[in-house]
Amino acid sequence: MKTPKSILVLIGALGAATTLAACADEYAYAPPPPAAVVYAVPTVAVAPACFYTRDIRNHTVADDHTLFVNVGGRMVYRVETSNACFAGATSSDPIVIQNPPGSNNVCHPIDLDVGVNTGGFTNRCIVSSISPMTPAEIAALPPRLRP
C-alpha cells in the first residue's frame, strides 16, 4: 500500500517539530529571578525644634558668628549668623531679643530677632540657622562655652 505524499509530509513535519521541542527543552531560556521586593518606608516630616524666647536662661558667645543659648535649663541651641554681629562681644554682654507681635515662638531662623548690646550699642544679627544640640555635643563644648 502506498502512502499519500501529503501524509508523509505531515509525518515528517511532526517529527521535526518533536525534535525541535526536545532541543528547545534542553536549551530553554530560564526567566530571571523575581526582582527584590522594595518596601516603601513612609517619610515623616520632622517638625523643627521650637522654643519660646521667654524660656532663654543663659547664653555664651563662641565666636563672631555663633551663639549658644540655654533654653529652659533643658536644651542648648546653636544660633549661627551670616554677619559677624558677635565680633567684640563677650558672654557677659546682654543679648537683646525683639519679639514679633503675637508670638515669641522660635521655630525658624526668621523667627529670632536677636542682637548683642556692647557698651550701649546694639549690634543686630542676621540669623542663618538655629539647631538643637545633642547631649554629646554639649558635653564636647569647653566649659567656658557651655551656657
Query: pLDDT by residue (tens digit) across 104-132?
Result: 899 999 999 999 988 878 888 999 999 99
The whole model's pTM is what? 0.65
Integer Cα distance of 88 and 132 in angstroms: 25
> What does the DSSP assignment read for 54-99?
GGEEEEEEEETTEEEEEETTTEEEEEEESS-TTTT--TTSPEEEEP
Stated length of the chain: 147
Query: Would you give the end-to-end CA distance of the chain in angstroms?
Result: 114
Q: Quote the pLDDT of residue 118.
A: 84
Which residue ranges of the chain lie beneath pLDDT 70?
1-48, 101-102
The answer to whether 56 and 97 have CB atoms below 8 angstroms apart is yes
